Amino acid sequence: MADNKATIRRMFDEVVNLGKVELIDELFHPDFQTVTPQGPLDREAFKDYVRTWRTGFPDVHCEIGDLLAEGDLVAWSIRATGTHTGDFMGIPPTGRSVDFDSLNIAEFRDGMAYRHTVMMDIPKMMGQLGVGG
């Protein structure tokens, strides 16, 4: 569905890449739930999630790859890049760049993101930061 694809583009172009966290209330259903590598989050916790990423990687940029929609289901890939210049989940700034991928699946309800699951290549990202094994 074209409108759902446009919403996904806004989520990344405006919310993540530009840090316009206030748009989450407009784009995400009040009962929104997501599953991330850091655990399940509701709409308010997702705002903090975006802020955490933008604190750790102020220049974070997520580029949408494949974007497929059928009815209320949408799937897409992301290539995320950024420079680790701020604290990120207890990891002090390393000054290193990251470049990794994720796959996402979402369900929409009433034209808003309702359910979401993201699978990120966390081992690749941590390796680029010099953290973990």
φ, ψ of residue 60 in degrees (nearest 5): -50, 140
- For the chain, the domains span 2-129
Q: What is the mean pLDDT of each run of 10 residues along the chain (133 residues)?
A: 88 97 97 94 96 97 97 97 96 97 97 96 94 72
pTM, 2 dp: 0.90
CATH topology of domain 2-129: Nuclear Transport Factor 2; Chain: A, (3.10.450)
Encode 21-87 in three state secondary structure. Answer: HHHHHHHEEEEEEEEECCEEEEHHHHHHHHHHHHHHCCCCEEEEEEEEEECCEEEEEEEEEEECCCC
Return the closest-CA partner of residue 42 out of 52, 28, 54, 56.
28
Pairing of strands 28-36, 112-120: parallel
> Which tens digit of pLDDT belongs to each residue from 6-32?
999 999 999 999 999 999 999 999 999
